[in-house]
A and B are shown apart, each in its own frame.
Chain A
Amino acid sequence: MRIFDPHVHMTSRTTDDYERMYAAGVRAIVEPAFWLGQPRTNVGSFLDYFDALLGWEPYRAAQYGIRHHCTLALNPKEANDPRCLGVLEELPRYLLKDSVVAVGETGYDSMTQEEERVFEAQLALAEEHGLPVLVHTPHRDKAAGTRRTLDVVKGIDPGKVLVDHLNELTVGMVHEAGCWMGFSIYPDTKMDPDRMVAILKEYGTERMIVNSAADWGRSDVLKTREVGEAMLAAGFTDDDVDQVLWRNPVAFYGQSGRLVLDDVESGGDYEGNTILRGTR
């Protein structure tokens, strides 16, 4: 089973997780920029974080045979702090980078006007840079937030929008809108593997994307694999599993023209680097 985890915050995880992910079949991941639990108070703090997502973290992932790409944005939560708004001025130069495959996470958290302004500005940046968009939906008042999200993205090709953190109550409207549908599988909140399988039975496997969204909270990087196993147990084919866990996220992020997977698919070294030996 080859797995592409399209949303996982590896900055918050240990190398043990990278080892377990590789053993479970994870060969590629996308790490969206998000908040770090502790609110940031200045732009420089974001820039160092973005630089880590473009430097140290892909390097770390490569040590464990996993290809790392990222999405960059000012996240909805911190969009409410005026001290962080300067991030929007720095984003254009970051969106040029090779391993940036979308703008995100952007969207609503508390559904404020500030969040909406930042959301709209970042949708425009995505269009300018020819990038798809990863849209976060709020955890509180989710159905209303998802509806409002779909209104905001209406002018954009729905094929370039992935609306994330969906559940039974929000999947229908996103399916109808024609956007990609993202599901975060968590140990006890958001979605679980059996409920995910039920949604796949009802809506099919097209435009369906499953992620672990693992971060610094209670979460599990192997939830993608669990969904694959639950799908097989429920009668889905290997090809269905491959579509949901590999081909769909590759098709979505591939629209950036910047997804590079040949090195992981051939099992070669990262950037032809063969100087690694021994302990880190």
Chain B
Amino acid sequence: MTWLARAVADVERDPETVHALFPRAARDGGPGARVELLRALAKAGPEPAEAVTRLYWQGDASERLDILRALPDLDLGPAALPLVHDALRTNDTRLVAAALGPYGSAWLDDHAFRQGVLKCVFMSVPLASVEGLDRRFDEELRRMLADFAAERRAAGRPVPPDVLERL
């Protein structure tokens, strides 16, 4: 039995074990191991959203990134939105980009989504990585990007091409 198979069995039997297994899953179980544990947790746990939330708050940057990326597969409804808001408050481009993946795009309200997109522009995260941007693009976001472009031009600095495309 591999480390991962044992760990998944442990989490299915006792969801509480995930807190000791998840932090070491990548080095002991391989690259996809964290996602496997999250899936097992989402199925097994009585309160999967609470458990995933605790894993996130106790996680390092890499664990948090894997949790954000796995959210669309975990069927938690809007319960994990506080994690997305946390990631959007960071200054880590990987976390910000992951926050605007399929889960964030599905559940963030318009104001938070627009602020997230603008933050991507400020952090040089390509807009192509923002899930559902076409679907969620609106007049207010267009205005915000246009104001950003005006500010850049006034400073004599270039406007990124993926912003220009949207104006």
Chain A contacts to B: CB under 8 angstroms: 51, 54-56, 58-59, 93, 96-99, 257-258, 271, 273, 275-280
Contact = CB atoms under 8 A, between A and B. Distances in A.
Contact of B27 (A55, A59, A98, A280): A98
Interface string B135-161: 000000000000000000000000010
Contacts, number: 54
B60 A276 contact: no
Contacts of B60: 51, 54-55, 97-99
Interface stretch (B38-46, B88-96, B111-119): B88-96
A29 B125 CA distance: 27
Interface residues of B, number: 24
Contact of A258 (B27, B91, B97, B160): B27
Interface in B73-124: 90-94, 97, 123-124
B92 A55 contact: yes
Contact of B124 (A51, A56, A271, A277): A277
A278 B23 contact: no
A271 B62 contact: yes
B33 to A, nearest CB: 12
| Residue in A56, A97, A257, A271 with the greatest tally of chain B CB atoms within 10 Å | A97
A124 to B, nearest CB: 18
Going nearest first, the 7 A-B pairs with the smallest beta carbon separation are A54-B60, A55-B61, A96-B23, A278-B124, A277-B124, A59-B92, A97-B60
20 contacts: A54-B60, A54-B61, A55-B90, A56-B61, A56-B90, A56-B91, A56-B92, A59-B92, A93-B20, A97-B23, A98-B24, A98-B62, A258-B27, A273-B93, A273-B94, A275-B97, A275-B124, A275-B129, A277-B124, A277-B126
